[in-house]
Amino acid sequence: GEEMQDHLPVTEQKVAVGHAVRAGYMYSAMADVAALTGNRDYRETLDALWEDVVSGKLYLTGGIGARRHHESFGDPYELPNASAYNETCAAIANMFWNHRMFLLHGESKYMDVFERTLYNGFLSGVGMSGDRFFYPNPLATDGQTDFNQGKKERAPWFDCSCCPVNIVRFVPSLSGYIYAQKDDSIYVNLYIGGEAEIDLPATPVTLSQETDYPWDGKVVLTLNPDKEAAFTLKLRIPGWAAGQPVPSDLYSYEDKETADISIKVNGERIDSSTEDGYAILNRSWKSGDRVEIDFPMPIRRVHAHPNVEADQGRVALERGPIVYCAEGVDNQGHVENLVLGDDVNLLAERQPDLLNGVTVLSGTVEARVNDNSSPDGMDEIPFMAIPYHAWNHRGPCEMAVWLPENKNVAVIPE
């Protein structure tokens, strides 16, 4: 049936249903077959399935699988927060699938979903010590409910420990997703420090990246071809940098302005053309050529599509590819009483001694209080948000990604 994705022949499946992990694996295999055989029916089916997911079944964190029951997809826009399942294995399957969709189509939007999942819905699945894991990855918790297979915190092992071993399998493979090559073009899909060697028809090329991404949007690429040669460098312009959190209208930024992205070659700013979400740098390259990219990282307020009932009257916070959350430990014990009106001013600050070094968002917000000394039941309190992937490292407490935007949604703490 639907749970096993055998309810219809695969080319008749236009809607993502059933077990989210198995679906992601099957769609990945279908993309491989489509790429190898050119099967048009598979391509059209995959495109329909992908649109179905990114338009109504994808969490802001890149997680998939809304329902705990059968670990499955829900209906369109069924994206609850506290009961979200978002299995860690499903995040990995989602990355597998989107990478293969990129290989099939060559468009950056698939790597946008990959990156969003990588830094948020996947990374939350493993603790910073590397030996504690989440099976599900909810977007909210009251600090009292056992959501992680009978626990309130990450666990060292599970009766069915697919997630820990899947993480161990995926992490060492990450370097293989940074670049891609087709003919005389090099695609730069992820901004991660390191070095790679790529064989182009004209010459082998060694590339090195220096960056503090995802905390900072400055990237330096140094190219060292064995000999001077003409080839194309395609730099992915992340969707978040282009003003679009996901490649659909499921989520949108409150501020519609897009930041000024700077690209320089050997210190000289250039105006590059764009194609399929990539900045195209086509020129003759020699050893030592440097490409400098600057993706500004303003703090962005995110709203969900009106059909996502769970997120109405709420706002989420992002900076760069990082989704943020508020934990009670940083906000006087509670988060559902906070009110992040559109007049709230937040600052991004690097805190090297917090959670192995993270950039936090902080400011002052209003909060509903159970206090007779406040005539309107509101009080101003210090506010701090941390990267979602870093939550649940300081004991069980309240947590939410989607925070109240007005007093009517906020809850007075008991």
214 in the same domain as 183: yes
The model scores a pTM over 0.95: yes
Question: Does a structural domain hold residue 53?
Answer: yes
352 in the same domain as 228: no
**Mean pLDDT across the stretch 29-58?**
98
139 in the same domain as 117: yes
Quote the CA–CA distance of 207 and 317 in Å, as a whole number.
33
Question: Does a structural domain hold residue 377?
Answer: yes
Q: Which of 122, 145, 174 is the last residue of a domain?
A: 174
pLDDT band at 5 (very low <50, low <70, confident <90, very high): confident
- CB of 120 closer than 8 Å to CB of 134: no
3-class DSSP state for residue 215? coil
Question: Does a structural domain hold residue 320?
Answer: yes
- Pairing status of strand 278-285 against strand 273-275: antiparallel
What pLDDT, on the 0 to 100 scale, is given for residue 96?
Answer: 99
What pLDDT, on the 0 to 100 scale, is given for residue 117?
Answer: 99
What pLDDT, on the 0 to 100 scale, is given for residue 187?
Answer: 99
What pLDDT, on the 0 to 100 scale, is given for residue 2?
Answer: 81
3-class DSSP state for residue 366? strand
154 in the same domain as 22: yes
User: What domain range includes position 313?
Assistant: 299-404
CATH code at 194?
2.60.420
Question: Does a structural domain hold residue 255?
Answer: no
pLDDT at 3 over 80: no
Quote the CA–CA distance of 177 and 182 in Å, as a whole number.
14
Residue 254, Cβ density class (10 Å: 0-12 exposed, 13-18 middle, ≥19 buried):
exposed
**Mean pLDDT across the stretch 206-216?**
98
- Number of structural domains found in the chain: 3
pLDDT band at 95 (very low <50, low <70, confident <90, very high): very high
Higher pLDDT, 324 or 5: 324
